């Protein structure tokens, strides 16, 4: 069976719905819905997600990074769907509403349809005639991702797959498709701050202070873990890294993490002390900062590792 696909480039933004060939895809051997474990009263939706992603990945001979399934426009229509593959191709599909597929989808969207009925009963569509009383729903699936949204609803922020479809698909593509550009954007942000520490470090003093601290506090040191993996994750865009963190005056940079911070001490809960080689304009390369999940402000702690250890051993 030949499968029509669209290569992901900037040119796809010019495509309209009529330009796209939909493949009629039957996903075989979908099991009836089942519970995640004995005694649970909810069907295992994560397992259903994994089943779809694995079966389609085998059919396409490329991992499905993201799958978007829209509810049918009517009872007789299939589900319009789009699969974004690891080889940077997009496959448009019509998935028929086979019995077991429909059982899963009905359960997944049960709450959404209930909320829609409540909106109708409340008269929201009479008060706001720009809204669509019969919207579709979108199920977005990926590794670690399971989300439901309204589509063609008439709301300001709406999913509109049938208007300028190519531009819509380009926008919805997985972050991994633009990994190099996203990484370059992050690197260009942090580059002006990154500077080596040219001070001569007294290794003997540091070693002595460190061992005194370990003994005094009865610590069990572990090898430090870098934060490069999170920084490199394409799902963490520059706006995500900088959106919720503030600088400590001009001494630090307001970013969640970056490779020029070298964490060496965990304070628990995903929070760390680190050597900072990308300080703010009034900071000093090699200074000690605190960053992590609870650190909205990137706190300045000490001018150097030596000063930091001295503080702790007092």
Which SS3 state, helix, strand or coil, does residue 194 take? coil
pLDDT band (50, 70, 90) for residue 223: low
In whole angstroms, what is the distance from residue 49 CA to residue 60 CA?
A: 16
Q: Are 270 and 219 in contact (CB under 8 A)?
A: no
**Which 8-state DSSP code applies to residue 35?**
B
**Which 8-state DSSP code applies to residue 19?**
G
In whole angstroms, what is the distance from residue 260 CA to residue 159 CA?
A: 38
User: Among 171, 141, 161, 144, which Cα is nearest to 55's?
Assistant: 141
pLDDT digits (tens, 9 = 90+) for 175-214: 889 888 888 999 999 999 998 777 766 788 888 888 887 8
Break the chain into its structural domains and give their ranges.
6-173, 182-313
Task: Give CA 185 to chain center in angstroms.
Answer: 17
Which SS3 state, helix, strand or coil, does residue 172 take? helix
pTM: 0.72
Please compute, for residue 77, the number of CA atoms within 13 A of its CA located in the half-sphere on the CB side: 11
- What integer pLDDT is reported at residue 232 of this predicted model? 84
In whole angstroms, what is the distance from residue 252 CA to residue 299 CA?
A: 7
Phi, psi of 193 (to 5 degrees): -90, -20
């Amino acid at each position: 069976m030949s499968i029509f696909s669209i290569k992901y480039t900037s040119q796809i933004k010019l495509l309209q719905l009529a330009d796209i060939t939909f493949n009629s895809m039957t996903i075989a051997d979908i099991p009836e819905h089942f519970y995640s474990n004995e005694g649970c009263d909810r069907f295992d939706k994560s397992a259903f997600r994994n089943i779809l992603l694995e079966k389609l990945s085998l059919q396409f001979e490329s991992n499905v990074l993201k799958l978007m399934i829209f509810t049918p426009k009517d009872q007789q229509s299939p589900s319009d769907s789009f699969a974004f593959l690891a080889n940077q191709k997009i496959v448009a599909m019509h998935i028929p509403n086979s019995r077991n597929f429909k059982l899963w989808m009905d359960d997944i969207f049960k709450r959404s349809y209930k909320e829609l009925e409540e909106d109708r009963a409340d008269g929201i569509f009479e008060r706001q005639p720009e809204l669509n009383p019969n919207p579709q729903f979108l199920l977005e699936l990926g590794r670690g991702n399971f989300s439901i949204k309204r589509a063609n609803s008439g709301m300001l922020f709406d999913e509109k797959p049938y208007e300028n479809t190519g531009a819509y698909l380009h926008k919805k593509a997985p972050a991994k498709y633009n990994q190099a550009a996203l990484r370059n954007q992050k690197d260009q942000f942090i580059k002006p701050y990154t500077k080596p520490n040219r001070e001569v470090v007294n290794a003997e003093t540091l070693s002595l202070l460190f061992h005194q601290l370990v003994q005094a506090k009865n610590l069990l040191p572990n090898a430090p873990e870098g934060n490069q993996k999170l920084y490199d994750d394409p799902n963490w865009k520059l706006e995500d890294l900088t959106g919720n963190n503030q600088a400590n005056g001009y001494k630090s940079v307001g970013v969640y993490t970056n490779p020029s911070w070298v964490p060496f001490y965990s304070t628990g809960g995903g929070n760390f002390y680190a050597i900072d080689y990308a300080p703010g304009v009034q900071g000093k390369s090699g200074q000690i900062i605190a960053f992590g999940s609870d650190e909205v402000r990137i706190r300045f702690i000490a001018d150097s590792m030596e000063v930091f250890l001295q503080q702790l051993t007092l």
